[in-house]
Amino acid sequence: LHFDGTAWSAVTPPAGALGPLRAVWGSGAGDVFAVGGALALHFDGTSWSKITITTTSEPLTSIWGRGPNDIYVGTAYGNLFRFGGSSWQPVPSTLSDVRQIYGDATTTYAVGRFGGIARNDGSAWVKVEGGTGNDLQGIWSSGSRLWVVGSGGAILTHEKP
């Protein structure tokens, strides 16, 4: 769907781009990505096209970026892929799956199943102890405070390092 400021209208996806989309992120109106299942799409401001992030059939679950040349995609198998300006590259992860990715100017976080939280300060992904075994679904921060939510009503908060 597309909202033009007045009303919503249907947007035609590329041929064969059927399936559930789980996450969307964009650096601007002419640079929007959507992922879900084995499907990854990019909107260039005019139309949507299919893109390849990984050659495996890993279900894509999440996407977040710092800008058009620093984007992360997570998978249901715990893998991460990063776009650094020219191509998507695999990035080692500490999670068994990735439900959501979020970050700020210097640090990126990812959350997943069994209380999985990972942090990357630009050098490597490291496990962060969250104190729960609940599946974690969402993450957001404001200032120095990080918020994580998940199954069973889990709400975690943490002061960023």
Q: For 79-126, how does the pLDDT look when each residue is reduced to its tens digit (9 = 90+)?
A: 999 999 999 999 988 999 999 999 998 899 999 999 999 999 888 899
Question: Model-level pTM?
Answer: 0.90
**Percentage, residues of the chain above pLDDT 90:** 70
Q: What per-residue confidence (pLDDT) applies to 27?
A: 96
Strand partners, 124: none
Helix (H, G, I), strand (E, B) or coil at 74: strand
Q: What is the predicted pLDDT for the residue at 20? A: 87
β pairing state of 39-43 and 48-50: antiparallel
pLDDT of residue 19: 79
Strand 2-3 to strand 8-9: parallel, antiparallel, or no bridges (unpaired)?
antiparallel
Q: How far apart are alpha carbons 68 and 83 in whole angstroms?
A: 8
- What is the mean pLDDT of the segment spanning 66-86? 94
User: Region 39-67: what's the mean pLDDT?
Assistant: 92
Identify whether the C-beta of residue 53 lies closer than 8 Å to the C-beta of residue 72. no
Q: pLDDT value at position 89? A: 94
Kindly give, in sequence order, each residue whose CB lies less than 8 Å from that of residue 152, ignoring residues fewer than 6 positions away: 134
Chain position carrying tokens 């710092």: 66
pLDDT of 40 reads 94
